Structure formats: C-alpha cells, structure tokens
Amino acid sequence: MGVQDYAESKLKPSVDLTGSAKECSNGPSIGVIDIGVSQSAFLFRVALPGIRSDQSKLKCEIQRDGKVLIQGIVTQGSEVLQGLPSVCQMTVEKLCSPGPFTISFNLPGPVDPRLFSPKFRPDGILEVVVMRYRRPSDPVDAWAPPS
C-alpha cells in the first residue's frame, strides 16, 4: 500500500469540538481540518476564523500516539462595536460567539511530539508539520505506512 492509498483509506479523522467551536453553526466553522501525509511527517491545517494568535491563548498539544488537542479562546464577537467614528449595534452575527473552545483529532500514526513546527497564518489557519515517530532500529529510508 503506497502513501496515497494509505492517505485515502486512513485520513477521515473524527474531530471533536467543544465550546464556541461546537456552537458555531451559522458562519465560518472553527475546526475544519486538512491532513497531509509524507514518508517522514504529517501536515495538518486547522481553520480558526476570527481567532487572533496574540489574544486567544492558542495552545496545541500533540501526543506520541498522534492525538492532537488545540485549545483557545474566541475573543471577538461583541454585540456593540466601538472604536469607529460611531458605535455600531450588530444586527447580523455569523461568527462564532466569544468563549473557550477545544478541537481534538487523531493523526493516522505515531509522531515525535518534540519535532513539530506550528505556524499561525494571517488567514486564520493553524498549519503544523510533525515528524512521524521512528524507532531507533528503523532504517532511515525504509519507512512505510502500516498495512
């Protein structure tokens, strides 16, 4: 089974949402994920619209078995917008309501949680590359997805 076949058969993860991420049903969804697979790493992207990395206390934990836990706080979403020339009352609200959220899902295999590179993009996407776990006895170029 090649990397592409493995990806197609194994990458339909269950995603658990709580808090503001679960309540957001009208607008852009928090917690929509993409997962990519290579011989040496997994890449995942998580949509976090309306989240600001400097205000949301965003935290990403990755466990060796591939479980990912993302936590944060939606800080936007006030009924009254101030700071404009006049005060605006919101009449249509489609973004997630303010409050804490968690997103959890499993990657399709074990990883080395010490070797990950997170990047929070300006478009509200959290992009993370995490290296697959290799046993010391594994040859460097001989890794293949489990069958």
Instruction: For 17-59, write each residue's pLDDT tens digit.
Output: 666 666 665 555 788 899 999 999 999 999 988 787 776 788 9
Write down the pLDDT at residue 56: 74
Other C-beta atoms within 10 Å of 107: how many?
Answer: 23
Write down the pLDDT at residue 40: 93
For the chain, state the CA radius of gyration.
18
Q: Tokens at residue 100, please?
A: 């804490």
- Domain ranges for the chain: 32-76+98-132
Specify the amino acid at residue 9.
S
Query: What's the distance, CA 118 to chain centroid?
Result: 10
CATH code of the region 32-76+98-132: 2.60.40.790
Specify the amino acid at residue 48.
L
pLDDT per position as a tens digit, 73-120: 887 655 555 555 666 666 666 667 778 889 999 999 999 999 999 999
53-88 in b/e form (b: 16+ CB < 10 A) is beebebebebeeebebebbbbbbeeeeeeeeeeeee
